[in-house]
Amino acid sequence: MSDLPGQISVREVGPRDGLQNEDPVPTDAKIELINRLSATGVGRIEAVSFVRPEAIPQMADAAEVWQRISKAPSVRYSALVPNLRGAGRALDSGLTEIEAVVSASDTHNRKNVNRGTEESLDDIAVIIDQAHQRGATCQVIVSTAWGCPYEGDVPVSRVVRVAGRAVADGADSISFGDTTGMATPRRVRELVGEFRLAYSGVPLNLHFHNTRGTGLANVLTALELGVADFDASVGGLGGCPYAPGATGNIATEELVYMVEDMGVATGIDLAAMIDAAADAEQIIGRQLPSQVLRAGPRTRTIPA
Amino acid sequence: MSDLPGQISVREVGPRDGLQNEDPVPTDAKIELINRLSATGVGRIEAVSFVRPEAIPQMADAAEVWQRISKAPSVRYSALVPNLRGAGRALDSGLTEIEAVVSASDTHNRKNVNRGTEESLDDIAVIIDQAHQRGATCQVIVSTAWGCPYEGDVPVSRVVRVAGRAVADGADSISFGDTTGMATPRRVRELVGEFRLAYSGVPLNLHFHNTRGTGLANVLTALELGVADFDASVGGLGGCPYAPGATGNIATEELVYMVEDMGVATGIDLAAMIDAAADAEQIIGRQLPSQVLRAGPRTRTIPA
């Protein structure tokens, strides 16, 4: 295990990706959650997305949330944008890190943003330019990177080609999203391997779901491949829109629990993250899937 | 991943370890579940335990269950025994594989069977002899192998010493049990490494819980170390007696889903195991923690 990265950078996506897939919550609760997360030691937070309020009412208050949160100097905040209009709003709001998203699978992209993968990539080239012109960075998220809920398998070559187009257009980094939890250790190895062969110098972030239980096994595989940037969601906030009752994002505190035990630093205070997960559970009003939230860290003993 | 075992042997522990930690279910339902599991292609089933009915009413019907199940020629059935009396009952019932259990942690052993680890090991030496005299094999399960809910960490050297005593006394194989889900990839690597150094020729089975989310990551690590015998529980049946609401055993269908995708054969029909998990959920009357049961295999698509 000596080849593992000494530290990783975790991006907390609960406030955006998590809450976007839950029933809407009050603006104040979002702000409070983000502020709590900012105090856990996490290095990155995906705070909001600038999407059409009619399409995603959960994020209708994005500009207000962004304005009112306490921005910790140690945290890099980002916003997801689905299109040019969203990018403009994010940059106008003062974001300096945005994420543009495109699905590797054409069907999923059409369902999501009503256009094909290539059309989205054309838009993303413009978004990247706009971000750079305004001094911001732009990560391109390639979703359905390990499979599409409509099409099934998506060829690795296609995923790498989509990412490569974004790289050629100036993306500052790539994130592969396991949108519906179809990644497995073998497939992580394949995609990361192929991407690295073609684009060894490009920063790579991975976004796993635990929809089929392999979330942390996928992280472990990626760590062994030297990947050091991961998304996770406090408490496992989010769920999966394609499988009612199924789990979505890997839980941040589970990720921290596992990798810190392996000597991989996250900068995150596990107890503080578990507390934040308990808060998230209160906000949402349902039990979140995080196991570490239920059982506590392994050092929690009971009186004999 | 070419160093992974080409195939593994899964022991389905749902009928025993799973049901023992749930509210009691009718004898007929147990028999029906075991019969269904026997038809999934699984190679081993831990069917019952011979324990004091006053202590564990869930297993009071062990002899009847064992007598009435349809024994498939392709399946090796086993019973867990906590002491000499239980071993006698199991052997009298015609079992040819028994599992004797001892906790690496003294406190846990006392809580479990009201005596210290060394006293249990003395008994186990006699149990092994009795099994061998009657043509049966005896596996020794070392529980709390990755930590104790009362004592916390259990030194690797102690766990290996307990296992070594059983090996010296003639145990046919060793199983390390992660009783309360305290194993992590790093700790799996440490314990398996130390055990193999000392007892390279002794068959080793591993029993993981998913109480803190790392169950499949632990399996992945063990596979990379060449371990090929694993316990799992259909649907994740079982729960954790030490953390209300927390997950216990790893789910058999999640294990099968992950390793088969890696080219590691289990002999198990995934669809049949998922069906058995759905049955187990009916029997128990609560949602089981298996993610693959909720979301289905990755090849399950939805109409566009």
What ipTM was estimated for this complex?
Answer: 0.94
Q: Which of A291, A293, A302 to mutate to test the interface with B (most CBs of B within 10 A)?
A: A291
| Side chain identity, residue B139 | Q
pLDDT of B46 reads 98
DSSP state at residue A184:
-
CB contact under 8 A, A294 and B1: no
Give the closest of A184, A214, A291 to B212, CB-based: A291
Q: Which domains does chain A have, with CATH numbers?
A: 9-295 (3.20.20.70)
- What is the rounded distance in angstroms from the CA atom of residue B303 to the CA atom of residue B144? 46
Chain B residues touching A178 at Cβ < 8 A? none
Rounded to a whole number of angstroms, the distance from the CA of A149 to the nearest CA of chain B is: 5
Chain A residues touching B261 at Cβ < 8 A? 184-187
Among A226, A243, A237, which residue's Cα sits nearest to residue A276? A237
Q: Tokens 């009413």 label which residue? A: B57
pTM of the model: 0.96
Rounded to a whole number of angstroms, the distance from the CA of B45 to the nearest CA of chain A is: 22
CB contact under 8 A, B149 and A302: yes
Q: Which of A1, A111, A212 to mutate to test the interface with B (most CBs of B within 10 A)?
A: A212
Beta-bridged to residue A173, according to DSSP, are: A139
Pick the residue from chain B with its C-alpha nearest to A148: B301
Give the closest of A186, A261, A301 to B149, CB-based: A301
Rounded to a whole number of angstroms, the distance from the CA of B210 to the nearest CA of chain A is: 8
Here the tokens at position B59 are 């297993």
Pick the residue from chain A with its C-alpha nearest to B107: A304
Strand, coil or helix: A80? strand
- What is the rounded distance in angstroms from the CA atom of residue B289 to the CA atom of residue B253? 11
Whether residue A167 contacts residue A174, with contact meaning beta carbons closer than 8 Å, is answered with yes
Here the tokens at position A276 are 């934040």
Whether residue B164 contacts residue B199, with contact meaning beta carbons closer than 8 Å, is answered with yes
pLDDT tens digits for A107-165? 999 998 999 999 999 999 999 999 999 999 999 999 999 999 999 999 999 999 999 99
Give the closest of B107, B152, B186 to A299, CB-based: B152
Pick the residue from chain A with its C-alpha nearest to B218: A217
pLDDT of B2 reads 54
Among A88, A87, A49, which residue's Cα sits nearest to residue A66? A49
| Side chain identity, residue A213 | G
> Could you give the percent of chain B with pLDDT greater than 90?
92
Angle formed at CA A43 by CA A191 and CA A248, multiple of 5 degrees: 50
> Among all residues of A, which ones are annotated catalytic?
240
Q: Which residues, 6 or more positions from B186, have their beta carbon under 8 angstroms from its beta carbon?
A: A1, A261, A262, A263
- What is the rounded distance in angstroms from the CA atom of residue A142 to the CA atom of residue A178? 9
Strand, coil or helix: A138? strand
- Positions of chain B with pLDDT lower than 70, given as ranges: 1-2
- What is the rounded distance in angstroms from the CA atom of residue A242 to the CA atom of residue A240? 5
> Among all residues of B, which ones are annotated catalytic?
240
Pick the residue from chain B with its C-alpha nearest to A107: B304
- Interface contacts (A, B; CB < 8 Å): 163
Give the closest of A219, A246, A291 to B295, CB-based: A246
Whether residue B214 contacts residue A258, with contact meaning beta carbons closer than 8 Å, is answered with yes
List per-residue pLDDT tens for chain A, 304 residues long: 558 999 999 999 999 999 998 999 999 999 999 999 999 999 999 999 999 999 899 999 999 999 999 999 999 999 999 999 999 999 999 999 999 999 999 999 999 899 999 999 999 999 999 999 999 999 999 999 999 999 999 999 999 999 999 999 999 999 999 999 999 999 999 999 999 999 999 999 999 999 999 999 999 999 999 999 999 999 999 977 777 777 899 999 999 999 999 999 999 999 999 999 999 999 999 999 999 999 999 888 888 7
- What is the rounded distance in angstroms from the CA atom of residue B14 to the CA atom of residue B7? 21
DSSP state at residue B300:
-
Rounded to a whole number of angstroms, the distance from the CA of B127 to the nearest CA of chain A is: 28
CB contact under 8 A, B213 and A217: no
Chain A residues touching B187 at Cβ < 8 A? 261
Whether residue B86 contacts residue B51, with contact meaning beta carbons closer than 8 Å, is answered with yes
Here the tokens at position A117 are 């993968």
- What is the rounded distance in angstroms from the CA atom of residue A187 to the CA atom of residue B121? 44
pLDDT of B156 reads 98
CB contact under 8 A, A304 and B107: yes
